Structure 1
């Protein structure tokens, strides 16, 4: 369909050129052959030169008349509708080409995409199941999702975020099973976002969170297409930002963060065993430091006499209370974990392993920490890594210090009181109106079966 602007096409070309004139990569190319004339205006650093040559320039010289060229260009699937000259200017910055032919303006999407490479999963690896993750190109990601979710009810709406960079955001949901209230809340929060520049889904997740100081995550981020498909089938909403490597899923409840995609592919008893280990690791990660402080400083009678004496003997020579010892070793572990994230991959393993061994050995020999404390810190670190989703893992690391403070103040009674307080906090939390402890997958099984049949 032919697209026109309300102003004179020649004036529009001049206005676009003036707006982009300081840029070195602006190209204003006239095409002439016999009685045929056309003008191209584009930014060469964001336009695919090969496609431009094959789709526009070469046919211009091969076709007989202007009418044939215009009819051919109108038939291309990557032609865009023109609504205003401001819209044309924005699309040019994204990789579109403005074509002036026979006093008509055409806008063609011929963007160069360097971020469409599909990598293997690195943040959420699994033994079984798909191994490819999302890319940083929104069109590629939508293609990956559609290839795995063949439902005509799948809806993909787009909008732009960022007052300056105008980043494209896709809102993806299954119209038949989506939670309508959640969808309305998501759209309302997105429309309320007023920010000059937005670059990543992590930033978007923070901006959408009404309770900025919430202890637990209420939205899930994932790089796995299979996790996205499962959540779409259960009625959730997926948010996909152009330039982002991950998808935001809403709502997200506590049990979602403790679910690995291997649970979908393993046998029944293997899956149940892995879940038991996962929740056991979560409990150990939260309580081990507090139990150590409580048992050594307040309630040694909870252990057998031999174990209590062994713990007391290992602390001979340690010059400060047990909660200072635990806090010191936990902070060292946090520093090693942070260093493993920030260091180059070539030296991460060596630096953190050697650093951990040297610090642990030196701390025990210098009587700065007991041998049992080293074992507890190692167990806590391993337990933390069992949690499948990073957002929950980071939150649990913070909760661990809260429970340590309660145990330092009140012993085992304080630790139990802290655990009850955390549970009460979680039970009153909501994610887009859904209770945080709701068994989400179970309540949506009927709808999921309906889709499958």
Structure 2
């Protein structure tokens, strides 16, 4: 049958036209006696081993075109296409187009998946518990979740997002525990996303935000399957993005960002103690710089006379106000933190440690900053790192500058006013319709009443 003598022949030519000027476009004809099958696929997206084993070799082994066509159609995922746009879209996902002698065109799944193997978690390190992390393959990630959550109630929905990237994403939830209002709001926000490229879970998190100028994260981006599974059991929704080794968890509350997964493995008093340390660290890293500015420049009468004399003696050689001293040292600490993240691992920790020691020693000897300021900045930096999730850590790094600014203008009154305003803002914040600022929340916060009752009765 001639390629130009049937609509299917025209369809194949149209597909070739849309995929023209691609150096990795492969076109091949399989011929045996008077039988012929035409193949067209993109080499860089398809696995040649799958093509040779399941398409090429069986063609010569069957020696009967009717049996071979039935064999191809019997594979899961094989579909017949009748429109060029659909064929091109599927071939860009790694499918092989096959045109048979009767003019019918089928798409055969032969995608090559290049993803890193399941490795240990690097950004969310724990002392006990599983150490595996998500990979860049969405199928592997779903497998990691289903291995831990063996329930028929675990449902998954597949969607495609990104006009150019055509990124596949999966939405997972426990049908009996999830709040369907959250699912509806998530679907509405996904429908409103109109972008060309989505390449990471963090990027999707940014587009899901209800406010572009938000400072507090209203979802969790995690690389740990155990954290995702734990939140599934609480009735939350997990969003997986193909090509990204992270998952998005929603909705969330403020307390979720201060929970490490090994807290669940400890006895309760130890877990409470560890979580208390993190909240104390939060208060130290947010409030210490502003309190230092307020007490040094405005409200020194709050201190005992011995401490006031100690601070005054330490700052005797400093030629500028306390808020300039604080901002200078905090800025240098931010630079060291960024350098430790961006430098190669082989030299990053050494370079930043040596740089910090030299900087602190030289600054105090030159009289540019006080000794107490060095101690304060060190405490602030260490306290910031006790927060388990980096998303909240980045937010806290910004908050302390707001309070320093208020302390520089209004003193202790500015610090108190800033904290009151912060608490009011957190109290008004919502994560997909759920209250955000619930510090002491029950594990079943997001479960429907029926599920919570069933869990107690069980």
Normalized against structure 2, the TM-score is what?
A: 0.94
Q: Is contact 2:145–2:229 with CA below 8 Å preserved after alignment?
A: yes
Shift of 1:155: 1.5
Shift of 1:215: 2.0
Q: How does 1:363-378 map to 2 (within 5 A)?
A: 363-378=363-378
SS in 1 for 2:279: helix
SS in 1 for 2:443: helix
- Give RMSD over aligned pairs: 1.7
Give the gaps of 5 or more residues in structure 1. 1-6
Q: How does 1:123-272 map to 2 (within 5 A)?
A: 123-272=123-272
Shift of 1:288: 0.6
Q: Is contact 2:290–2:415 with CA below 8 Å preserved after alignment?
A: yes
Give, in whole Å, the separation in 1 of the partners of 2:339 and 2:146: 38
Q: Is contact 1:80–1:109 with CA below 8 Å preserved after alignment?
A: no
In the other structure, the counterpart of 1:360 is 360
Q: Is contact 2:285–2:384 with CA below 8 Å preserved after alignment?
A: yes
In the other structure, the counterpart of 2:3 is none
Shift of 1:198: 1.9
In the other structure, the counterpart of 1:65 is 64
- Cα offsets for 1:380-405 (capped at 9, x unmatched): 00000111111111111111111111
Q: Is contact 1:78–1:110 with CA below 8 Å preserved after alignment?
A: no
In the other structure, the counterpart of 2:99 is 100
- Cα offsets for 1:430-452 (capped at 9, x unmatched): 11111112326243477368479
Q: Is contact 2:221–2:249 with CA below 8 Å preserved after alignment?
A: yes
Give, in whole Å, the separation in 1 of the partners of 2:442 and 2:192: 27
Q: Is contact 2:116–2:135 with CA below 8 Å preserved after alignment?
A: yes
When structure 1 is superposed on structure 2, of 85-94 and 376-385 the one drifting more is 85-94
Q: Is contact 1:285–1:381 with CA below 8 Å preserved after alignment?
A: yes
Q: Is contact 1:12–1:85 with CA below 8 Å preserved after alignment?
A: yes
Residue 440 and residue 205 in structure 1: after superposition, are their counterparts in 2 closer, same or farther (change >3 A)? Answer: farther
Shift of 1:340: 1.1
Give, in whole Å, the separation in 1 of the partners of 2:336 and 2:116: 33
Deviating above 6 A after TM superposition, structure 1's stretches of 4 or more consecutive aligned residues are none
Shift of 1:40: 0.9
SS in 1 for 2:411: helix
Q: Is contact 2:178–2:446 with CA below 8 Å preserved after alignment?
A: no
Tell me the number of residue pairs that the alignment of Structure 1 and Structure 2 aligns: 447
Q: Is contact 2:134–2:225 with CA below 8 Å preserved after alignment?
A: yes
Normalized against structure 1, the TM-score is what?
A: 0.95
Give, in whole Å, the separation in 1 of the partners of 2:79 and 2:327: 60
Residue 273 and residue 286 in structure 1: after superposition, are their counterparts in 2 closer, same or farther (change >3 A)? Answer: same
In the other structure, the counterpart of 1:27 is 26
Give, in whole Å, the separation in 1 of the partners of 2:367 and 2:80: 73
- Cα offsets for 1:197-219 (capped at 9, x unmatched): 22222221111212111121111
In the other structure, the counterpart of 1:4 is none
Q: Is contact 2:236–2:446 with CA below 8 Å preserved after alignment?
A: no
Give, in whole Å, the separation in 1 of the partners of 2:92 and 2:79: 14
Q: Is contact 2:12–2:84 with CA below 8 Å preserved after alignment?
A: no
- Cα offsets for 1:301-347 (capped at 9, x unmatched): 32222222111111110000111100100000011111111111111
Q: Is contact 1:233–1:448 with CA below 8 Å preserved after alignment?
A: no
Residue 273 and residue 440 in structure 1: after superposition, are their counterparts in 2 closer, same or farther (change >3 A)? Answer: closer
Q: How does 1:246-395 map to 2 (within 5 A)?
A: 246-395=246-395
Q: Is contact 2:30–2:36 with CA below 8 Å preserved after alignment?
A: yes
SS in 2 for 1:248: strand
SS in 2 for 1:240: strand
Residue 119 and residue 373 in structure 1: after superposition, are their counterparts in 2 closer, same or farther (change >3 A)? Answer: same
Give, in whole Å, the separation in 1 of the partners of 2:76 and 2:295: 71
Q: How does 1:408-427 map to 2 (within 5 A)?
A: 408-427=408-427
In the other structure, the counterpart of 1:37 is 36
